[in-house]
Structures are given as structure tokens and as C-alpha cells.
Amino acid sequence: MSPRGTASTLLGAQTANAFLSRYWQKRPLLVRGAVPGFEGLLAPRELMRLAGREDAQARVVLRAGRTWQVHEGPLSLAHFRRLPARGWTLLLHDVDHFLPSARDLLSRFSFVPYARLDDLMVSYAAPGGGVGPHYDSYDVFLLQGPGRRRWRIGHQRDLGLVEDAPLKILRRFRPEQEWVLQAGDLLYLPPGWAHDGVALEACMTYSVGFRAPAWRELTVQFLRFLEDSAKPDGLYQDPRLQAARYPARIGTDMLDQVARRLARIQWRTGDVLRFLGQYLTEPKAHVFFTPPRARLPLEAFAHRARTGGVVLDLKSDMLYRGNLFFLNGESVQVQGRARDALARLADTRELSAVDTTRRGLVALLHKWYAAGYVGLRENDARRRRR
């Protein structure tokens, strides 16, 4: 399904461009029946099983009035059996790393560039469960699964937090609007909007979050990136040094010389591009890739890729600009028809067939296959049917 067609269904009667112009990072939007007949992607028990994985980011939030507790994962099924009948929520991040159907759901939001996409978080809440009134520093789409949840939102200036709470909970929440969402309803919230969702009955919510790195974080990481490219030659020198009257004082000559040297450090747009592509696709700390158990040699892989195609691993992030491609924190430059094929792979997350006459392309895909970054499309199809 094309991004435009997807958006026209997901966002009601308006186009993606209309939504981005009127609502994106401006004001909330509620769409009733955005995904008609949406029954969710997995059952609560399946979500609980995923919460027990070592490579999953899971937590349980218990709510009793103004008192909160947080239990970090991995979480066993026995842990959930000990929970009360009301007032708790299970949150699981990066569900798109485990379910092909979650990746398909995220593709509905591809009218927003992948460079801004963070993850799909799924929550299961017992009646009365929620994480309290809070605000996010990023855009989020809240798609309601089975069950009903009441959302209250407000655009307040007072963002003071409850002291000593294990979560960032607003001290004074002033809701301005309220809705009850049912399966298939969608609520978009721009950054900074306060909101509080409470389960009216056992329910599941699918949260599509978009990353918004702080300028401070980007600046610090870019300076670290420059460590590999900014390597001025020589050593500090002061052949005309004179005897010091105040030995603890930093001299003017030293200050000026170091300032002149640092002023020579320069970068171009290409440096920023390489940094940005590697930074945005760098896997999170808890993510690791598993190479194929029985790795195919190059020729066998080429035959399977030619007839069945390849697909990005669910945990892989791939971006590009021009001839420069970024995959899981690595970069490579590719020309010609191979470049067009990789652009399709990045945009659609799969290639239905691979032109094996492009030996460089096949070798690159095989390298990524051996690292667990891509897989054979026919194997992915089998997994979807199971």
C-alpha cells in the first residue's frame, strides 16, 4: 500500500500533506475508526511472553491513587500472576523488532520519514491501569486496540513533576479535552501536550513514537564523530617561552595558539550527512543481531535472492541520501542500478528479487546477510504464516 493511500485511510478524509500542514507538531487530532476492524497484533499473554526476553525493553507500572511502582523487565509469567486485578500496565518497547505484523503497521505511517521513526510500543492495561498524567518530548500516534481507554489531554504551561516518583508524572494536570477510544480509533499528540490514559476495562494500546533528539545530544555526538576525522598534525610548541612570574596563570600566547588551532577544525555537509546517517541507524544498546544458523555461501545465497528476494531484519534501520547508504550504524557508497535497488530496499524494507548480474550488490547483500542485517524474503514469508 502506498504511503498516500495509507494516510488517506489512517488520517480520515484528509491527505498526508493536509495532516502535516494542519496538525503535525501543532495540535492534536482524533480519528475515529482510523483502522477499521483493528483487533491488535498479539494477545495479552503473547505480550507478556515477549516481556520475558532478555533483548526486550519491558516494564510494569502499578498505580494506586498518587502512589506508583515500576518493575523493570525481563518479567516472567509468574510475575504477572502475582499482580492485582486492577491498576497496572505492561509496557513493551520495540515490538516491531519481534513481529512482522508490527513492521507492517509502522509502514502505514511512512508519510513521515523513517529518519524520524522511533518504535512501536504496545501496552496492556488492567482496568484502571495507566502511567499517569505526563507529557512526551516527541510526536506520538496512539492507536487503540481491543478494549476501551479514556484519554484526557491539555496544553498546559506548568510542567512541574511529582517529586521522588519513579516516573515523570505531572504534579498538577489540567485536562482540556476528554475522549474514550475504542478499537481502531487513533489519537495524534504533538510534543509537549500533557495527557493521561486510563483503561476503562482490560485494553491494549499501540503507540507509534517518533524520535526527536535534543540539540545538545546531537552536538555532543557530532563532536565525538569528528574525533576520527579532525586529526591536526604536530604538537604544541612555545620556542619563545619566557620565565614565568605567575606559574599557575594560563599564558596569553598559549591561549591564542590553541584558539587558532581549534578554529581550523572545519566540516562539510558531507561530514554532517555521514554522522547523521550513522547516528540515526545506530542500534540501541539492547539490540543485537543473530547471524543465520546455517549460512549460505555466496552463490547459493545469490540464487535464493534472485528467485525469492531479500528483506531487512526486523531490527535493522536503513536510510540513504544520494549514493550513500546507512545500515545499523555503518555506511557504504553505491552507484548505478545497485543504488536504485538499495533505495527500494530502504524504502520498502524488502526486494522481491535481486539482480544477480550486479556482483557488487550481491556481495554487499551477502555480507549483510551474514551479519544478520538482512534475510531471505521467502524465509520471512514462512515466518509470517506460522
pLDDT tens track for 148-203? 999 999 999 999 999 989 999 999 999 999 999 999 999 999 999 999 999 999 99
Give residues with Cβ within 8 angstroms of 7, minimum separation 6: 15, 16, 19, 108, 111
In whole angstroms, what is the distance from residue 172 CA to residue 158 CA?
Answer: 7
Which segments of the chain does DSSP mark as H helices, in order? Answer: 3-10, 16-22, 44-50, 77-81, 100-107, 215-226, 252-263, 269-281, 298-308, 336-348, 359-371, 377-385
Residue 6 has pLDDT above 50, yes or no: no
- Predicted pLDDT of residue 7: 52
- Predicted pLDDT of residue 1: 36
- Predicted pLDDT of residue 4: 38
The residue with cell 530496499 is: 345
Fold of 3-210: Jelly Rolls (2.60.120)
Give residues with Cβ within 8 angstroms of 142, minimum separation 6: 151, 181, 186, 187, 188, 189, 197, 205, 206, 207
CA atoms within 13 A on the CB side of 289: 21
- What are the extents of the domains in the chain? 3-210, 298-385
- Predicted pLDDT of residue 384: 55
In whole angstroms, what is the distance from residue 251 CA to residue 242 CA?
Answer: 10
Convert the pLDDT of each residue in 311-333 to its tens digit. Answer: 999 999 999 999 999 999 999 99
DSSP state of 1: -
In whole angstroms, what is the distance from residue 178 CA to residue 152 CA?
Answer: 4
Convert the pLDDT of each residue in 41-70 to its tens digit. Answer: 999 999 999 999 999 999 999 988 778 999
The reported pTM is 0.90
In whole angstroms, what is the distance from residue 47 CA to residue 94 CA?
Answer: 12
Instruction: Write down the number of H helices and E strands in the chain.
Output: 12, 17
CATH class of 298-385: alpha beta
What is the average per-residue pLDDT within 218-228? 90
- Return the bridge partners of 68, or none: 63
- Predicted pLDDT of residue 383: 53
Residue 378 has pLDDT above 90, yes or no: no
Grouping H, G, I as helix, E, B as strand and the rest as coil, residue 348 is helix
In whole angstroms, what is the distance from residue 91 CA to residue 257 CA?
Answer: 54
